[in-house]
Structure 1
Amino acid sequence: MKILITGGAGYIGSELVNYFIDDHEVVVLDNLMYDPTSLLRYTNSTNFKFIRGDVRDLKLLGDLMKDSDVIIPLAALVGFPLCDRDPRAAVEINYEVNQWIADNKRPDQKVIYPCTNSGYGTSEDGTVRTEESPLNPVSLYGKTKVDAENAYRNSENCVTFRLATVYGPATRMRTDLLVNNFVLRTLRDRVLVLYECEFMRNYVHIQDVCKAFKFVLDNWEVCNGETFNVGNDSLNMNKLQLAQTIQNHLPLEIIRAEFTSDPDTRDYIVSSQKIYDRGYSCDYDLDDGINQLIKAYSIIESPWYANY
């Protein structure tokens, strides 16, 4: 098949290409706003093609879609700080382009779209969030991603993900993600100051995210038309538990800031049992990711890579 990945030079995309490149033709569309080297390792493959461009160039996007069998729309402004800094671009890239793809794709074209489980917002009653739970995004980022998910859910031949907070090293590194950031700050400062440390999140290793895309494509007949939470259910934990796990690997002083609020108010427990029941499983736990990040940060001299 021919697979079109928009935003394929980013944190997830730069790893995801590796899961398809041996068996399929992969075309990446990216404007290279971050790391221009993240895809260099694929240039020796005859199955790989790169197009530099903006996903908002609808003529270019439409031309690339014409002969694609699978579309994986990763292009996005990711995270609430970046979206708040440029709200117009956030709406255009995160929502409007995806609505256009959903409206203009052929019925036979397959789409796998990654939303975020930050759309669950805050779970005031403490109940576990499943795919049937109401969405209540608390940021522009979450709202634009949920709107895009709805566009694809109203389209044929689409699967949507609600991703947990991703962690782990990648060719295009990010250090603003919570686990990645906590490990880096521990290595640099040996101190973590935790705000509202009881807030719950769930996590998933970046390689397990990539595996989920491949799993769905390989099992399309049992996944088509569905929405799946994609996370590691053993990693529903609060910030203090996360810091304590890092403390098992590195010297760390944990300070609780009792009277300061965190601008990120997400707080929820999420179940990914639905995709597990289809046969998917996670291969990496938090200890694996922490050990990998320690090695990655020993290589990168100035590792402040973020979506800013």
Structure 2
Amino acid sequence: MRNVLITGGSGYVGSLLTPQLLNAGYNVTVYDIMYFGDDHLPKDHPNLTVIQGDVRDVAKFSEAVKGIDVVLHLACISNDASFELDEKLSETINYDAFEPLVVAAKQAGVKRFVYASSSSVYGVSDAPDVTEDHPLVPLTLYNKFKGMCEPLLWKHQSPDFVCVTIRPATVCGYGPRQRLDLSVNILTNHAVTNGKILVFGGDQKRPNLHIQDMCDLYELLLKAPDEQIAGQTFNAGYQNMSIMDIAQTVKRVVEEVFPEKGEIALEVQPSNDPRSYHINSDKIARILGFKPKHTIEDAVRDLCTAFRDGKLPDSMTGVNYYNVRKLKALEAA
């Protein structure tokens, strides 16, 4: 299991995961359309292959996947807001292209296929603990397509083609290809840059996962025995905090790290985003022994350090930090 291909390997999580796997001794192929560039990848590493490719180009993907042991499928038009874009873009990348990729990987002799679904497939739930067998109640096309791909994967599960689905929480923290359109990252950016946090709603519960824990989980899935993960779906989300509680954490940490900014104001406005759910991640702890090592507070501190070090210039206006803005600017289709 030394040869790994990451679709979307130049994205937010991929930009941290790729160097991590290289440092761990893996041969890594990044297959990415490069909407956000690849300058943040360690392209001089002898064990890294970078391919600019579209997941809808199955012929190109079929060539790229030859000799690969494991595919980590992270590529997608990411997050609910991305559906402000042409719906067809998201449907073709997130859904239509999925099963042909799985088939191509299996035909090429890939031994393991890891699919990054999303905990947002649960929509709104009053259940105190949303486990993996909770009904999928998608609110947007993004989480609808994420959920619809899961049974397509199971069609191809076999002893020599081990398939596993992860439903991660919202990822947070600093990555080389930074996103600032995710809840913890948004609130931290506003606190540091504007000295004020806008909270939309506040009561909605959102599970979060530190980006380093996300990367550690993907690395674990390269090593886990077949019998532990074959045909399995795992939640991966921790600290099911309300948006208001996250905002209070951000306020406290930013005031501590940047005392010169004084008190950070906190303003509440109505929200049109009702998604609220409390996911339970006991299964992945029980079966794989996976528990997070980082917190939302760690993510905020990491972002504050990046701001302090000048790594996030033009954080309110730079389009590369914001998926929807970037794709609109590219007129992606």
User: Does the pair score TM above 0.5?
Assistant: yes
Structure 2 counterparts to residues 209-248 of structure 1, below 5 A: 209-221=214-226, 222-232=228-238, 235-248=239-252
CA distance in 2, matches of 1:77, 1:115: 12
Corresponding residue for 2:104?
Answer: 104
- The structure-2 alpha-carbon separation of the partners of 1:6 and 1:44, relative to structure 1 and needing over 3 Å to count, comes to same
Secondary structure of 1:105's aligned partner: helix
CA distance in 2, matches of 1:23, 1:245: 37
Corresponding residue for 2:145?
Answer: 144
CA distance in 2, matches of 1:301, 1:46: 30
Aligned alpha-carbon RMSD (Å)? 1.5
Structure 2 counterparts to residues 7-18 of structure 1, below 5 A: 7-18=8-19
Q: Say whether the 8 Å CA contact 1:94–1:144 is kept in structure 2.
A: yes
Q: Say whether the 8 Å CA contact 1:84–1:140 is kept in structure 2.
A: no
Q: What is the deviation of 1:47? A: 1.0
Q: What is the deviation of 1:256? A: 2.3
Structure 2 counterparts to residues 57-206 of structure 1, below 5 A: 57-106=57-106, 109-123=111-125, 125-156=126-157, 157-206=162-211
Q: What is the deviation of 1:227? A: 0.6
Corresponding residue for 1:49?
Answer: 49
Secondary structure of 1:248's aligned partner: helix
Deviations 1:231-279 (A, max 9, x none): 22xx11111111111122123222222xx332x2210000111111121
- The structure-2 alpha-carbon separation of the partners of 1:255 and 1:23, relative to structure 1 and needing over 3 Å to count, comes to same
Unaligned runs of 5+ in 2: 256-262, 325-333
**TM-score scaled by structure 2?**
0.86
| 1:268 aligned partner, one-letter code | Y
Q: Say whether the 8 Å CA contact 2:71–2:110 is kept in structure 1.
A: no
Unaligned runs of 5+ in 1: none
CA distance in 1, matches of 2:214, 2:296: 14
Identity of aligned residues (%): 30
Corresponding residue for 1:306?
Answer: 322
Secondary structure of 1:201's aligned partner: strand
Structure 2 counterparts to residues 247-258 of structure 1, below 5 A: 247-249=251-253, 250=255, 251-257=263-269
- The structure-2 alpha-carbon separation of the partners of 1:158 and 1:187, relative to structure 1 and needing over 3 Å to count, comes to same
| 1:186 aligned partner, one-letter code | A
Q: Say whether the 8 Å CA contact 2:58–2:101 is kept in structure 1.
A: no
Q: Say whether the 8 Å CA contact 1:200–1:239 is kept in structure 2.
A: yes
CA distance in 1, matches of 2:217, 2:278: 20
- Aligned partner of 2:297 among 264, 270, 287: 287
CA distance in 1, matches of 2:81, 2:307: 24
Q: What is the deviation of 1:146? A: 1.2
| 2:275 aligned partner, one-letter code | R
- The structure-2 alpha-carbon separation of the partners of 1:72 and 1:154, relative to structure 1 and needing over 3 Å to count, comes to same
Q: What is the deviation of 1:11? A: 0.3
| 1:227 aligned partner, one-letter code | T
Q: What is the deviation of 1:108? A: 5.4
Q: Say whether the 8 Å CA contact 1:70–1:110 is kept in structure 2.
A: yes
Q: Say whether the 8 Å CA contact 2:165–2:232 is kept in structure 1.
A: yes
Q: What is the deviation of 1:194? A: 1.9
Task: Flag as ranges the 4+ runs of structure 1 deviating above 4 A.
Answer: none
Q: What is the deviation of 1:54? A: 1.5
| 1:224 aligned partner, one-letter code | A
